[in-house]
């Protein structure tokens, strides 16, 4: 492996200049470095870019319609944010299940999303919330906003150009009528990578589904909305019959695999059971 190069820009202007001088190289962006430290990524022929000093990547702000989280905000900063706790509790529930206190003190939400892993635990809540990403391009020297659903293009791969990175995550605040559900299943209750997970937001009145959104983790190449299951349940009452039919539809929307953590069959069973648990939970 060639000698590793690294750069820690103090501002976007400095990063823009550095990128233009080195754009033929592959750029590897990080902030907390919790994945980098275990060598999850291939560092060969890459320039390591530390964005943890860029002010644009920090802060948690809220208005009446959105919560905006800097991509370099740590998981514990988000977990203990009063704004996030009050307005986006599903994200709090997801982060509570992640890693350890020590890891959460360094790991960032931008890194969890940026890795584009189907097992990323913040991703399924952000997908059902309809989050979007602010992306900085050193080539264009500007930011753009994209829906989170347009970021993923495969397992641990994304649509960004070389040198681009997430600066902020914009999250619409769900209506108070929306109930939420998040649950993940792993090998144990802590410090575990997800075998399967499910996030849901739903507006239900008199047992009838007026609006519902699902996203499942670790069971498809990318995390996406389960739109066919959603369409079936919308304007339907939740009964044993509709739950059974929803399970059949969900089974056609997910594509689990067998790997070191679990089997395809077990992941399918888990996700169906999570759907049942979710629907029975949000009725009440």
| pLDDT tens string 227-258 | 999 999 999 999 999 999 999 999 999 999 99
| 258, HSE (Cβ side, Cα atoms, 13 Å) | 4
pLDDT of residue 218: 97
Q: How far apart are CA 83 and CA 61, in angstroms?
A: 8
95/192 same-domain check = no
What's the mean pLDDT in 145-174? 97
Residues 73 and 152 both lie in one domain: yes
Lowest pLDDT segment from 37-46, 122-131, 136-145 = 37-46
- State which of 38-47, 175-184, 185-194 shows the largest mean pLDDT: 175-184
pLDDT higher than 70, residue 185? yes
35 and 76 in a common domain: no
**Which residues does 255 contact at the CB level (< 8 Å), separation at least 6?**
219, 220, 221
The angle that helices 264-282 and 240-253 make with each other, rounded to 10 degrees, is: 140
Range(s) of the domain holding residue 153:
57-172
Three-state DSSP string of 20-53: HHHCCCEEEEECCCCCHHHCCCCCCCEEEEECCC
Pick from 174, 178, 80: nearest CA to 131: 174
Q: Which comes out higher in pLDDT, residue 103 or 38?
A: 103
Residues 117/155, Cβ–Cβ less than 8 Å: yes
Taking 60 as the threshold, does the pLDDT of residue 282 lie above it? yes
Q: Given 33, 50, 67, which residue is the final one in a domain?
A: 50
Residue 1's pLDDT band (cuts 50, 70, 90): very low
Please report the pLDDT score of residue 37 as a whole number.
67
Are both 24 and 109 inside the same structural domain?
A: no
Q: What is the CATH number of the domain that holds 235?
A: 3.30.390.50
Q: Which of 153, 172, 191 delimits the end of a domain?
A: 172
Indicate which CATH number applies to the domain containing 79: 3.30.465.10
State pTM to two decimals: 0.95
CA dihedral 214, 217, 219, 225 (to 10 degrees): 30
Instruction: Give the separation between CA 235 and CA 210, rounded to whole angstroms.
Output: 6
Report how far apart, in Å, the C-alpha atoms of 67 and of each of 50, 109, 148, 238, 265 are: 25, 14, 15, 31, 38
What pLDDT is recorded for position 269?
98
User: Taking all residues of the chain, what is their mean pLDDT, rounded to a whole number?
Assistant: 95
Q: Are residues 45 and 91 in the same domain?
A: no
CA distances from 44 to 41, 118, 221 (A): 9, 24, 25
What is the tens place of the pLDDT at every residue in 4-62? 789 999 999 999 999 999 999 999 999 999 988 666 556 677 899 999 999 999 999 99
- Are 198 and 147 part of one and the same domain? no
Does 100 have pLDDT greater than 70?
yes
Structure tokens at 172: 């619409």
On whether both 165 and 190 belong to a single domain, the answer is no
User: Do 63 and 168 lie in a common domain?
Assistant: yes
Same domain, 42 and 68: no
Q: How many percent of the chain have pLDDT more than 90?
A: 90
- Secondary structure, 3-state, 46-68: EEEEECCCCHHHCCEEECCCEEE
pLDDT of residue 40: 52
d(CA 7, CA 74): 21
Per-residue pLDDT band at 219 (split at 50, 70, 90): very high
**Do residues 12 and 43 both lie within one domain?**
yes
- Half-sphere exposure of residue 30: CA atoms within 13 angstroms, side-chain side: 18
Spatial CA neighbour of 97 closest among 27, 19, 194, 164: 194
Rounded to an integer, the average pLDDT of 154-181 is: 97
At which of 34, 50, 66 does a domain end? Answer: 50
Q: Structural domain tally of the chain?
A: 3
Same structural domain, 266 and 183:
yes
Where residue 148 falls among pLDDT bands split at 50, 70, 90? very high
Considering the domain architecture, whether residues 69 and 139 belong to the same structural domain is answered as yes
The pLDDT > 70 percentage for the chain reads 96
């Amino acid at each position: 492996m060639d000698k590793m190069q690294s750069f820690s820009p103090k501002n976007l202007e400095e990063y823009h200049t550095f990128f233009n001088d080195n754009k033929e190289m592959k750029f590897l962006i990080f902030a907390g470095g919790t994945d980098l430290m275990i060598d999850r990524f291939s560092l060969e022929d890459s320039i390591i870019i530390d964005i943890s000093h860029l002010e644009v990547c920090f802060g948690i702000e809220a208005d009446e319609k959105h919560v905006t989280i800097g991509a370099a905000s740590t998981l514990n900063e988000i977990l203990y944010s009063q704004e996030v706790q009050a307005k986006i509790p599903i994200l709090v529930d997801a982060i509570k299940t992640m890693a350890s206190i020590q890891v959460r003190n360094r790991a960032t939400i931008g890194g969890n999303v940026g890795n584009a892993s189907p097992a990323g635990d913040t991703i399924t809540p952000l997908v059902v919330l309809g989050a979007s990403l602010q992306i900085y391009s050193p080539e264009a020297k500007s930011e753009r906003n994209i829906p989170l659903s347009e970021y993923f293009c495969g397992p641990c791969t994304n649509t960004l150009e070389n040198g681009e990175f997430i600066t902020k995550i914009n999250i619409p605040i769900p209506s108070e009528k929306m109930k939420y559900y998040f649950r993940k299943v792993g090998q144990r209750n802590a410090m575990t990578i997800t075998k399967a997970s499910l996030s849901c937001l739903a507006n239900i009145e008199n047992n009838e589904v007026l609006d519902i959104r699902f996203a499942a983790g670790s069971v498809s190449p990318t995390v996406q909305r389960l739109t066919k299951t959603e369409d079936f349940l919308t304007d339907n009452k939740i009964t044993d019959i509709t739950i059974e039919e929803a399970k059949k539809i969900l089974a056609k929307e997910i594509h689990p695999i067998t790997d070191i953590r679990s089997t395809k069959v077990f992941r399918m069973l888990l996700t169906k059971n999570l759907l049942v648990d979710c629907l029975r939970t949000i009725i009440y």
